[in-house]
Amino acid sequence: MSLAKIRLLALDVDGILTDGRVWFDGDGEQLKPFHTQDGLGIKLVQSHGIAVALVTGRVSPMVDYRARQLGIAHVIQGRDDKLAAITELTGTLQLTLDQVAYMGDDLPDLSALLAVGVGRTVPGADPWVRERVEATRAAGGMGAVRELCNALLAAQGHQASVLAEFGVGE
């Protein structure tokens, strides 16, 4: 499918926005390292009309916090059936699955990855996922989301305007 048709970027969290590890502090609170380049990529696609959603099987206050930082309005936590969650969201947003790009890295993500317009995974994904879904060059939590964001922006004709926002002409 074409990146040019994408109106919603849905992202798994663990293994995509993070490196997949879950850290706990001395009080048992979860900590998750997020990459700043991914964050800017998310803000850029949002500013060019692409909605962003986080869809994760886990529940973590850190996910809500990061979503608030980035202005992500659609946060779905504690949902193991990612395809059902994304399908419900597309109904709410009046989109089709063909207009969705989804990034995930493990078996609970696979049905969604195969059903949407653009599915992407990361090099560290489960081997069965990597066999079926195109992977980014960058690892999860290390710029993989930014890589897809840049590809979306370029495919939709926004590369020059994004570069111009940062004082760079082509």
Report the phi/psi class of residue 139: left, alpha or beta, with left for phi > 0 and alpha for psi in -120 to 50.
beta
14 labeled binding residue:
yes
Instruction: Give the strand pairing for 74-77 and 23-24.
Output: unpaired
Report how far residue 142's alpha carbon sits from residue 105's, in angstroms, rounded to the nearest whole number. 14
105 labeled binding residue:
yes
Going by C-beta distance under 8 Å and a sequence separation of 6 or more, which residues neighbour residue 35?
Answer: 17, 141, 142, 143, 145, 146
Give the annotated binding-site residues for substrate: 14
Give the annotated binding-site residues for Mg(2+): 12, 105
Give the annotated binding-site residues: 12, 14, 105
